[in-house]
Amino acid sequence: MRRVLILGGTAEARDLAARLADVPGLRVVSSLAGRVADPRLPAGEVRIGGFGGPAGLAAWLRDQRIDRVVDATHPFAERMSASAADASRLTGVPLLALRRPGWVEEDGDDWRRVPSLVAAVAALPDGARAFLTTGRRSIPMFAARTGVWFLARSVDPPEGPVPSNVRVLLSRGPYTLDGERALIREHRLDVLVTKDSGGALTRPKLTAARQARIPVVMIDRPPVPGGVETAGDAATAARWAQG
């Protein structure tokens, strides 16, 4: 019996779990961080919650006799990816990072690439009405930016009180182009702030921004930890997981 751990929470992780769920001689466990109140569950066995850092993950891999690990977390889950790389080195369990390709700028786009959330806050002009799609945890950082109004979209509500310059929109993708156009128009948004997450589920906001001729502050994704093999799609990762 080969044992595979999928560090999940993304559409690619669910795709991978579905591909491996019924493979004879394979036990697949998908692990979710538990940060979303009502997560979309993948096929097969699921565990929810953290491991307690690299040492805790390494101990779990040994205890469960895991043969391979696929890090299919969000491209911006930097801490979890680092823990997976450290645990792989501690245990010798092979690790693959499944990362969907980032978005590519098209004709008519006006992207301003920045390296971090802090740089994205600084890139916003005074008086802007910003469409913020960087996750609920980043909302307080942007809300502290005076002179800017935010429509902040997230799956779950932010913790604590919401400042007067922020309106929170609770919503889960996939999103439609018509819907994104309507948000830009109705809220008179003049800049989009997003992470370079890639994928099709949330790409319509980029098309809507291009059509509305508003700029996009695009936050570059962090690099995959050094020495970790990568795959760009679930089919490739499934072949790797099966050896």
Q: What angle is formed at CA 132 by the lines to CA 126 and CA 137, rounded to 5 degrees?
A: 115
- Quick one: pLDDT at residue 220? 98
- Quick one: pLDDT at residue 35? 72
pLDDT average, residue stretch 44-50: 93
Residue 70 phi/psi, 5-degree rounding, is: -115, 120
Which of 38, 62, 51 has the alpha carbon at shortest distance from 7? 51
- Quick one: pLDDT at residue 159? 87
Q: Any idea where the domains of the chain sit in the sequence?
A: 2-100+223-241, 111-219
Structure tokens belonging to residue 136? 């609920």
238, 92 contact by CB (below 8 A): no
Rounded distance, CA 28 to CA 111, Å? 40
16 pLDDT exceeds 80? yes
Per-residue pLDDT reduced to its tens digit, 140-163: 999 999 999 999 999 989 988 899
- Quick one: pLDDT at residue 107? 97
Q: Tell me which CATH homologous superfamily contains domain 111-219.
A: Vaccinia Virus protein VP39 (3.40.50.150)
pLDDT average, residue stretch 43-54: 94
Percentage of the chain lying above the pLDDT 70 cut? 100
Helix/strand number for the chain, H first, E second: 8, 12
Rounded distance, CA 139 to CA 33, Å? 20
Per-residue pLDDT reduced to its tens digit, 75-101: 999 999 999 999 999 999 999 999 999
Q: Tell me which CATH homologous superfamily contains domain 2-100+223-241.
A: NAD(P)-binding Rossmann-like Domain (3.40.50.720)
For residue 195, the 8-state DSSP code is: E
